[in-house]
Every structure is written in structure tokens, then in C-alpha cells.
Chains A and B, each alone.
Chain A
């Protein structure tokens, strides 16, 4: 399958029809089940940047996704670690669930016999599903082969071209001519490409695309990278990042509040408290020793210093975990290898991440995107302690 993993530049002698061929062979790239008659997916832009919504989703056409926004990352149709009732406790869950094709391919014969569709099989009959070729967390699946088209789904066209501007532009223009429902910016996952190149290509690609169709990107999850992509015309992201944070026993604590209460500036903050306890230098070293994948947007609850920290994961967070439990409790669960650690961290990390996207939309609406960018980028460099703003 040509769109697997990173994109390859076209073979010599290619006559430019590669884009068309790819689109035709990419029926599995967005599964947004749409009734054949009646309901249609449509993008509504509200004018401030690409603030808007994707409406008309799902069987009855009542599903919608606020933009810019993210999908709900699932593994085989369930949010990681979360049963339906625990997921219901999370606020701001997006209206479109993301399932990776390998999960569905594995049960392909089961779904054939079931006959009532993947969404119902996975216990969410009314959900809108997006099916990606790969799972963003395990990007190199073992080989499989399926040529079945899924009926009644909206297709997104994949834009390829590696790191070559010309190829990207060609792919974008060709794909834009096709009657696809939206566009997937493929091949930007991972760190193979230099950051500047990546951003430039994304901007160039979206400039070629019609305004009234959504653009999704795979493999981008960190808040600073999300903002960079949004500025360059991307609408939809995955939410595998909070899952990865959860798996390493960490909690997202970055601030996205551009409107702090005035008195907040004098109150001690999560990050500052931590630093005062241990000294800034030690803290940074411990943090980087903890897990090389760790980002400045999170804290590592396995760290001994949280053993008797009776504050919530994040002060001011209204999630299930922060309302009821302490860092000390989550630390204990991690240290004793209890399954509940994953459950509580996932609830917090999802809610925080969805809250970030909501803040992005608010910032666009209120023309405060620059302030939000400044806040996020500052934390990208220095961690959450750098903010004097209460979240």
C-alpha cells in the first residue's frame, strides 16, 4: 500500500497520475459512516482562522466535530484503560472516535459475520468512526492485505511526497481535484524530517487545498506542534499523545489558560512548588532521567518526590482523578503496579488534552491565539514551572 508509513518519492518516469491512483486505492482512509441518502458531511468556518465545525457526521448526520479539534484515540474501539462508564466521566470527549485499521483487519472475518458494522460491534453504535491506516502508537504493523471497500464511508485523500516540496505540491493539487471528503497530510509522523522543512511543507500543502474541506494530520500530538500545524491550516489531530503520556506514568500539567485570575500570579504553582522542593537543576535532571520520551508538558508520578504530595495531579483541574485523588495516591498505584493508575491517568490526560483544544478554539474566537502560543511555547522550553499563571 503506497501510503504506508513515510512517503516515498515517485519513481523516475512517473507521469503525475500517481496521486489519482493513490486516491483510488485508499478507500480505507476515513471511515465516517454516512447514509447514502440525506446526511452529508460539511465544513462550516466561522471566520477566525479556521475556527469552525465539521457537521453532518454519522448515520443520522447529527454528529459533529468542533474545529480545530482532535479525535478520541481508541484501541480496538475502546479508549485505552477506560470502560464506557469511566469514559463518560471525562469532559469534552470529541464526537469522532479513531480506530486504527490493524485492529479492524485483525477481526475482519468477525465483522463480516457480524454484519452490523464495526461501530456497533465495538459497543458504540451511534459513534462516528475515523479509521486510519496505522495506529499512531505502533506505526509498523505486520503485513496484511485487504481490498474491501467499506460502503457508505467518506473518503479522505492522502497527500504524499516525502520531504520534497515539488512532490508535495503535485500530490496536493491532484488530490484536491478529486471528490474526496477531506485531506490527510501523510508522512509527517516521526522525526525523520527537519522541523522547519515539515512546517514549510505543511503550509505549502494546505495552501493548495480548498478551504471548505477538513485537513487532518497523523502523528502530531504535542501542544506546541499542534499549534504550529493549526497556524498552517490543519484542522484535525489524533489524541494518542495523552495515551503515551499515560503509559509512561505521567500526567499532563501544562497550562493553557490565557486568562488567569489576577490573584493567581502570587500563588504558588504546581511546577514552582515542585522546584522549590528539590531545586530546579535537580528537577530537570531527574525529569530527563525518568523517561527519555517525557516532554516538558508533564510530570512523572513515579518520582519519589510525589510520595507524600497530597495535592491533585493538577491544581484547578476538574477531572475525576483530580477531584478525588492525590498525587500521593497515583504515585502509590504506579509503584505497586496497580491497574487503576492507568485508568486515573488516562481520565486526567484525556480531559486535559481535550481542554487544550477547547482553549485553542476559544483563543481563535477571542483573537488571543498569539497569547496562547506564547504560553505554550514558553512551557515547551522551560516546563510548567515557567508559568506564573494559575491554571
Chain B
């Protein structure tokens, strides 16, 4: 009998349990730098550092995959230098997994400085120098040099509130760019390529994009173009439409989602992977995340509050320090920012761990109810969009 043709890289996702009511799944991502339990939240380390945390601290919190950004690293220090440092893993001394995004999102956030054409995105680097063309081929080249375990296609990103012909153009171009990325990807065995589904919040466009992209041989699918300023009612429906049409056996990565409520709801809708700057960024503003919201520790009311941020949190910050001390330290020592970053990452890890655990034990709907009660109990109940989204997958809140 003939040998089978060379297979693509092995499948990333192994599903271990599925919620009997909603679309939530619990499983593992099998990646070159180890296994990652999912659903998973990935902290963002934009420029090759998880902000003020050392790689050792981040790993000690249980993080097994985090993000680097191609646009920023591609300009400074540049892919060649990172390659010579042993790739992004070597550069950061990060022994676990990495995911790099393609730089596409910066098109939206640095809009005045960029120009999109079929060729690619022409950037004016914010720190001076000649305009730089980020094409699908160049995005793959940079990501191949950075060496992350998961790499993202270059997509034509528009803001999530865009409507009209530009939205359709961007969606169709993203499909063409996906094909160019697949063709240009020089290291398919070491690095898993994910597609990014676009189409804004227009169901018809999303559907066309889904149908086209799911025909391509990629290792996973991201849901992009959301989590901007769009209405939450449109947001969740777009997410749900995607999970409906994405293959069961490949991971679904919802980009830019990181608020606790959004994570819980979108797991219910069938997403496996998330990233967001929110937890780490808000820490640097003195804000600590807790199951009932957040504490703005710069606020004078915490000056004499001798309790830890969260008595039930096992993170190093909560084990040792009080809100009052953090309040005082915030005034004069960056160590305070790192302590809060530690706590917020720990909070996210714990949340995802609890979510996953509840799915494994077939009590995810109960978990969702408990979560919502803790978060919104005193405040008149969860937001309407969350309620509707959960109900649409069979989870009713009290």
C-alpha cells in the first residue's frame, strides 16, 4: 500500500470534555513548547516582555502561553536580531508557548499612519524612518524569525463599527491574504498557522468568510474584527455565528477579549482561547481585579484597608500585602505595579482554571450562575446582553 501523503502538523486541540448544555469545551492545546489547558487566557507581552514580570514569575503563575506582537518587535529590535537571540523564546527566556499576532491590529489602532492596498499595509513607523510595507509574505517572514508556536495570518482589519463596502472589501482581502500566508509560511511543522475570520458584525459577511476560510488547511481559527466599540448585542451574535460554523476539532481563538464577564460568556458560546491587554494594563493604573469587580487602589479609601486584595486569592501579592500597603507603595515604587500585574494575571489564570474545571465536572452552567451572582449580585444582575447570549446556548440565569 502507498504511504499517505505528508501530513500537515498534528492537530492542536484535544477536547477532553464538553458542556452538556452550552457550547463550552475543555481540552488541551498540543503545542511545540508543551501542553496548554484550555479554555485559556493569554497575557499580552507586546514587546517581548510580560510587562514588569520576569519570565519566571509569569511561569510561576501557571501561564503556559503568552503573546508577542509582530508589528512592534518587527520594528524594534527587528526580526533578525530576535532570530539571532534564539527567537522570541530565547530573547525573553520563555520556555513555554508563544503566539504572535501579525501586526494587522495595529492598522486599526495606528490608523493615521497606515495605508492599505492589495499588496499589504504601508506603515509610517511611529519612531521615524522610511515607510514599511507589511505584506502577508513579510508578516510570515517576521513571524518565522520570531519563532512563536502559533502564528497569525495578516488580515485586513477594519474597526468593528465599520459598515458598507469597506467591510466587505476587508473580509474578501483577508481571505486572499490567508492564502498568501499559507503559501509563504516557511515553518509549518514548528509553527501553527491560524486564520482570522472577519466580517465585522454583519452576519452575511461573517458567513461568507467562514465558508471560505474553513476550506483552508490551517491549524486553528481566530475570530477577529470584534471587541472594538461595537454594541455588545451585535458582538455576541457574531461570536456565536462563528462558533456555529467553525470546525469542532480546531481551536477557536477570540481576539481582544479579556473582561471576566466576556470570557465566561464567550466560553459558553464555544471559544477556547483569549487574549487582551486589559488585565496587565489596568494593573499599571493601580486597578486590581476581583470576583466582584475591581479595586482602584490609588483611591484614598484604601489607605487604611488592611485586608489583602482578595482573601481567597493565593497569588504572592495577596499572600503578603494589604490594600493599604499597595496604596502607599503606588506612590513611590514601581514594585507596586508589578505586584498588581502579578495579581491580575493570577486572577485571570484562576478564572480560566475554574471555568475549565467546571466544564470537566459537568457543572459549567452552575459555575456561570455563581460567577454572575458574585460579580453582579449587588448591582441589579448581569447585563442584558450577557443574559441573552447565555440563554441562547441554554444557560439561564436566576
Contacts and interface: CB of A to CB of B under 8 A. Distances in A.
Interface string B313-344: 00011001110110011011111111100100
B207 interface: no
A338 B338 contact: no
Interface stretch (A50-58, A83-91, A197-205): A83-91
B293 interface: no
B257 to A, nearest CB: 24
Given A80-B334, A307-B77, A343-B338, A113 B84 contact: no
B279 interface: no
B304 interface: yes
Nearest to A347: B54
B335 A89 contact: no
Contacts of A310: 84-85
B334 A339 contact: yes
B91 A329 contact: yes
A107 interface: yes
A329 B92 CA distance: 8
Given A84-B316, A114-B306, A78 B329 contact: yes
B56 interface: yes
B76 A332 contact: yes
B76 A340 contact: no
Given A320-B54, A324-B93, A336 B76 contact: yes
Contact of B333 (A81, A85, A338): A81
Interface in B155-173: none
B218 to A, nearest CB: 31
Query: Most chain-A Cβ atoms within 10 A of its Cβ — which of B48, B284, B332?
Result: B332
B81 interface: yes
Query: Most chain-B Cβ atoms within 10 A of its Cβ — which of A77, A82, A113, A339?
Result: A339
B92 to A, nearest CB: 8
Contact of B93 (A110, A113, A121, A325): A325
Given A307-B81, A340-B50, A342-B334, 14 more contacts: A77-B329, A78-B335, A80-B333, A80-B335, A83-B335, A86-B54, A107-B303, A110-B304, A114-B306, A308-B81, A328-B81, A339-B284, A340-B51, A344-B54
B49 interface: yes
B176 interface: no
The 3 A-B pairs at the shortest CB distance, nearest first, are namely A339-B52, A324-B93, A340-B49
10 contacts: A78-B329, A109-B304, A110-B303, A110-B328, A114-B306, A121-B324, A121-B325, A328-B77, A332-B91, A333-B49
A340 B53 contact: yes
Contacts of A82: 335, 338
A289 to B, nearest CB: 20
A103 interface: yes
Nearest to A339: B52
Nearest to B77: A332
Contacts of B56: 89, 320
Interface in B38-89: 47-57, 60, 72, 76-77, 81, 84-85
B322 A113 contact: no
Nearest to A79: B335
A286 interface: no
A103 B57 CA distance: 27
Interface string A90-125: 000000000000010011011001100000011100
Nearest to B341: A339
B324 to A, nearest CB: 6
A266 B196 CA distance: 56
Given A85-B57, A122-B325, A338-B49, A76 B337 contact: no
